[in-house]
């Protein structure tokens, strides 16, 4: 099947989870405006969809000799579990913990109990839900190397930025980079479309609003 058609189907599935919001007006953490938004926490709220998406990733890597599926974060772990369940080699599913260090840099560490699975150079598939900057995946790759494993590939629902790449096979169900605008050039602002407040992630120009919201 044509890759673009397949991607449209996958995007439709993610749309049905409620995680992919479109035809709206969002303020992103960067302060830029966009018509589309992905709320990653919603991508894995329907188990049947999560299983279906996990199946697609598992199928893509079905020929790969995979011993471990490694994730971090709740959403990615739900998906990773489904990928492990669907892969023909029945790899073990494990997760790393993610924390910010004192300088605010995000770090991943493996729970001590999982270290035993890294004996004998296991082949590891990294699974991520929504990949934006790729920092988390980078941390997981480092972790696998440090523990003596080999990265077989990376599977993700959505790669938000095409420039994010690794020297390992990467499979993204959706590979869409949606356009963003400065507030000055935003076509939605120009049309007077109200900004979606529910999924507002960017800086708010109305400080008093935030204070009120925090008082609840």
Is the Cβ of residue 33 or residue 40 nearer to Zn ion in the bound state?
Answer: 33
- Strand pairing report for 68-72 and 92-100: parallel
Residue 173 beta carbon to Zn ion: minimum distance, rounded to whole angstroms: 28
Q: Does 108 bind Zn ion (CB under 5 A)?
A: no
Tokens of 166: 């690794």
Tokens of 24: 């709206």
Window 164 to 193, contacts with Zn ion (CB under 5 A): 186, 188-189
CA distance 76 to 54: 10
Tokens of 7: 């991607």
First to last CA, the chain: 50
The total of other beta-carbon atoms located within 10 Å of residue 135's CB is: 14
Q: Does 34 bind Zn ion (CB under 5 A)?
A: no
35 three-class SS: coil
Stretch that binds Zn ion, among 6-14, 32-40, 112-120, 166-174 (CB under 5 A): 32-40
* In the block, residue with structure tokens 């925090």: 214
Number of residues that bind Zn ion (CB under 5 A): 4
Residue 22 beta carbon to Zn ion: minimum distance, rounded to whole angstroms: 15
Is the Cβ of residue 17 or residue 180 nearer to Zn ion in the bound state?
Answer: 180
Tokens of 163: 């420039």
Q: Among all residues, whose Cβ is closest to Zn ion?
A: 186
Residue 26 beta carbon to Zn ion: minimum distance, rounded to whole angstroms: 8
Q: Does 33 bind Zn ion (CB under 5 A)?
A: yes
Contact residues for Zn ion, defined by CB under 5 A? 33, 186, 188-189
């Amino acid at each position: 099947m044509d890759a673009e058609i397949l991607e449209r189907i996958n995007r439709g599935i993610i749309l049905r989870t409620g995680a992919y919001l479109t035809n709206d007006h969002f303020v992103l953490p960067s302060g830029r405006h966009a018509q589309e938004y992905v709320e990653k926490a919603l991508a894995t709220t329907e188990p049947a969809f999560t299983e279906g998406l996990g199946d697609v990733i598992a199928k893509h890597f079905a020929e790969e000799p995979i011993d471990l599926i490694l994730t971090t974060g709740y959403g990615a772990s739900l998906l990773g579990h489904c990928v492990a369940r669907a892969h023909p080699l029945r790899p073990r599913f494990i997760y790393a913990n993610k924390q910010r260090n004192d300088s605010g840099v995000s770090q991943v560490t493996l729970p001590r109990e999982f270290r035993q699975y890294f004996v004998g150079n296991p082949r590891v598939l990294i699974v991520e839900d929504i990949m934006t900057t790729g920092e988390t995946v980078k941390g997981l790759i480092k972790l696998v190397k440090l523990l003596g494993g080999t990265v077989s590939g990376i599977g993700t629902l959505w790669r938000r930025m095409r420039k994010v790449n690794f020297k390992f096979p990467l499979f993204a169900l959706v590979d869409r980079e949606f356009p963003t605008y400065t507030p000055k050039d935003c076509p939605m602002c120009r049309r007077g479309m109200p900004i979606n407040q529910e999924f507002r992630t960017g800086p708010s120009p109305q400080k008093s609003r935030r204070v009120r919201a925090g008082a609840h």
